[in-house]
Structure 1
Amino acid sequence: MTITKQDELDALRDIGRIVAKTMHTMAKALEPGMTTGELDEIGRVLLEREGAESAPQTTYDFPGATCISVNEEIAHGIPGDRRIAAGDLVNIDVSAAKNGYYADTGATFRVGIVRPSLDRLCRDGRRAMQIGIAQVGSNKPLAGIGRAIGRFASDRGYTLIRNLASHGVGRSLHEYPEEIATWPTRGETRRITRGLVLTVEPFLSRGGLWAAEGADGWTLYSDPRAPVVQYEHTVVATDRGALVVTLPG
C-alpha cells in the first residue's frame, strides 16, 4: 500500500508494534528443551491479547500462528513437537493484521552459545537488512536494495537465497510490489514512491542459493544445504529515507 494519511500511518505503526513485541517476547522465552509449538503458543496468546490476527493463518491457512524455523529449516517452519536445543539457530517470523492493516517482521536468534561462524553470520545478516533499509526512500531505485545487499554479501564471502524476496505489505500480507529482490538483478527499473510500504528481508547464507520446499508442503530448506539467517522489518518510504514501523515501542 501507499500511505497517504496520518491515520493510515498510525494504524500501520500499531500493528507494526504488535508484531515486533510478539517476536521479541517469543525470543526472550526461548530456552533449550521447549518445543516450537510451545513457543508459537506464546505468540498466539500475545496476538490475541492485542486484538490482532495471525496473517499466515488467515491468508494461507498456515498451521501455526507464527513461522518458527530451526537450523536447516530456513523459512515457513511449522510449529510443533520439535525440541529446541542449545546451539540452535531459531528464526521467528511474525506477521499479523489489525483493523485491516498488516505488518511483517522476523529475525534469527541464537539459543545459548553458537559456533563463531554462525554468530558472525547472524551479525552480518542483521547488517545486510540494515544496508537494504538504507536504500529505501522516495524516488530511489527499487533495485538499489538488492545491489547494496549483494555487494555486502559478496565482499564477505556470503551467498543470498534468490527465490525468497521482500514484498509490498500494508492492506494485505503480500501486495505490490510483490517481489523485491534482495540480490543484484538486471532489468528492474521501478522506483520507490513516497509512502510505499514494503518489507526488507534478505536471507544471508554460507553457500545456499535457493529455497526448496520440504515434504510437509510448507517448510523451506536451503539448496544446496547451508546455514541461512533472515532479518526483516516493515518500512515506509519517506523523503528522509525509511521509517521502520516494526519496533516494539
Structure 2
Amino acid sequence: MEHAAHNPDEEQFIVRNLKEIIQILTDLAKRHEMLKVSFKHDVCLTNIISVDVKNHAVYLDIGLDDAFNSRLLASHQVVFSKDNGIRIKWTSTNISLATLKDGKAIKIAIPQTLMRLQRREFFRLATPIVNPLPCLIPVSDEANPDLDRTLELTLVDVSLGGIGVIYADPLDSRLVIGASFNQCKISFPEVGETSLTLQVRNITKVTLKDGVIKHRIGLQFIAPSRGNEGLINRYTYNLERQVMAVASNM
C-alpha cells in the first residue's frame, strides 16, 4: 500500500478520491510533464509513461544510469513532485522494475493520496461567459429581519483563494471592503454546491463598452471547510482541463 507523507500546511490540498488521482496522473502523462524524483540524497527527472488502472499501477521513464536506478529501486520512500505551475506531489514506498513493450520502466502503485496545490498568485481561471455562475450572498438585517435579502453576483474568475464577481451599479451598501458574509452559495457544475464565508478584499468600478457601469469585486474564501476546499479544487481543475483542451485544438 502507498501512503503519502504530507506537511500539515499541505493537508487542505490533499486529493483522496481515486478517480481524481487517476485523472491527474493521466493528464500528467498526456502532457509529458517532467516530474522530480527525490529520495535520500538523490534527485532526478522522469515522466509518466502510462497509468494502468486495471493493475493499479503507474509506469514512469527510467534513467540510463544503472547505479542510480539500483539506488532508486532499493529506496523505501520516494517523492514524486511537479513544482512548476500547479504543484503536484506524492510519496511512493514500493518501487519496482517493469518491462513494457517499449523497454524497461519504473513501476509504482497508484498513490492513495496526492497533494495538488494551485497557488492563488499564479492561477486565476476565468469562469464561463455563457451560462455564468451566480454567487448568492445572504444579507441579514438584525434590526429588521423582514429586510433580509440575498444578493446575486456573477462569477468572472475563480482560484483556490477566492473569486472575482461582477455586480451592477449602484453598488449595494453592504458590499464594502472588509465586509464578511456567511453561508454564501455557489453551485459548481458537475461538482456540487458550496456554503462559504466570503470577505470583500477589493472593489473596482468598470465601465463597459456600451457605457454600462459595473463593479468588479474580489472575494476571499475565509477558512473554508475541507469539503468546500475539495469542491473548489475539483472545479478549478475541471476548468483548467477545459482551457487546455481548447488550446490543444487551436
Q: Tell me, yes or no, whether TM beats 0.5.
A: no
Please tell me whether Structure 1 or Structure 2 has the larger radius of gyration of its CA atoms.
2
TM-score calculated relative to the size of structure 2: 0.19
Between Structure 1 and Structure 2, the one with more helix by share is 1
Between Structure 1 and Structure 2, the one with more strand by share is 2
Task: Answer 1 or 2: higher relative contact order, Cα 8 Å, separation at least 6.
Answer: 1
TM-score calculated relative to the size of structure 1: 0.19
